Chain A
């Protein structure tokens, strides 16, 4: 998907829109199938893909001229991950002994 000409942004936007709707439908349908522990993983993978599509294409993160904005996004996700991971270090091990 290139952004070189004036009309292609529309192509990108509509393609992403369709992809997001398909993703939503998929999430809903796959939830009805028994995948055991993988249900959560699949749901989160689809959700993350959708979020990335919105961030990269609707929020124009992909075309950003410098890396600073991507650094802001990555840092934020990193610290959120730290919150969850280190909290789980406690919750996951509290009843080990």
Chain B
């Protein structure tokens, strides 16, 4: 009979080491995994691949945006000027702070600091809500100014930055706003999903589910949240700062 106890393969990423006693100690170990490490590494890789799909998902929008920005730079610059860069910048800072609270939450779990963990999770969610609130204000402003694409869209007599007397083509500006709403809207949707995920993480943390030995859901939830942050890191300069010099 082959000796199947504690056999570790020489391969770097196949970690099917058989330990007959591992499962007895940790009810969190799912039956089809041989070790906790294999389970954790599988979850981690799974989330990174999911984020890869999200990069391609947003990537299509970025590609469309880049093409039209190249074709209609002046019109896009005029449209970009009409959205509030200070609010956008504030939102960027808000998300950056939320990413910090996420890594601090994980550190808290790693060091058995349950109160800190819960505090950091709550702060993360508050930052997320603040982001959505500011976004709501921006959307309302656009609605009031008739910059929402559709039958009531109006972008007459807006000067192209750097070209006094030259007015932006409202039709091209409408394309900018279409992209603006789809890109930031999709991002906000991901933010909302993130808040849902973190509500669940908060609940589990409150129940004491996370220990230094097991806090994988926190890590992969955190990966998702950081990804949403990174998307905004690109959206901010591309949408808000096309041509802001006087």
Complex A–B touching at CB under 8 A: yes
Give the interface centre of A13, A25, A58 by most chain B CB atoms within 10 Å.
A58
Chain A residues near B13: list those with CB within 8 A.
66, 68
Cα distance A35–B241 when bound, in Å? 13
Answer whether A58 and B234 are a contact pair too, CB < 8 Å, given A32-B244, A32-B245. Answer: no
Chain A residues near B60: list those with CB within 8 A.
83
Residue of B nearest to A70 (CB): B48
Interface size class of B (residues with CB under 8 A): 35 or more
Cα distance A83–B233 when bound, in Å? 21
Answer whether A91 and B71 are a contact pair too, CB < 8 Å, given A55-B230, A72-B49. Answer: yes
A10 touches B96 (CB 8 A): no
Q: Mark B61-95, 1 if CB is under 8 A from A, else 0.
A: 01100110011000000000000010001001100
Q: Mark B235-246, 1 if CB is under 8 A from A, else 0.
A: 011100101111
Chain A residues near B181: list those with CB within 8 A.
none
Q: Mark A59-97, 1 if CB is under 8 A from B, else 0.
A: 110000010110011011101100110011001100000
Chain B residues near A77: list those with CB within 8 A.
55
B102 touches A28 (CB 8 A): no
A27 touches B236 (CB 8 A): yes
Interface size class of A (residues with CB under 8 A): 35 or more
Chain B residues near A33: list those with CB within 8 A.
245
Chain A residues near B233: list those with CB within 8 A.
47, 50-51, 54
B237 touches A43 (CB 8 A): yes
Cα distance A25–B244 when bound, in Å? 14
Q: Mark B97-137, 1 if CB is under 8 A from A, else 0.
A: 10110111001000100000000000000000000000000
B92 CB contact (under 8 Å) in A24, A34, A66, A72: A24
Instruction: Offer 25 A-B interface pairs, CB within 8 angstroms, sorted by A.
Output: A9-B103, A10-B104, A13-B107, A24-B89, A24-B92, A31-B237, A31-B244, A32-B244, A32-B246, A34-B245, A39-B245, A43-B237, A43-B241, A58-B103, A59-B222, A72-B45, A73-B48, A73-B52, A76-B52, A80-B56, A80-B62, A83-B60, A87-B67, A88-B67, A91-B70
Question: What would 12 more interface pairs be, CB under 8 Å, given A9-B103, A59-B227, A72-B48?
Answer: A9-B107, A13-B100, A14-B100, A28-B241, A39-B243, A44-B237, A47-B234, A47-B236, A51-B230, A58-B103, A58-B222, A68-B45
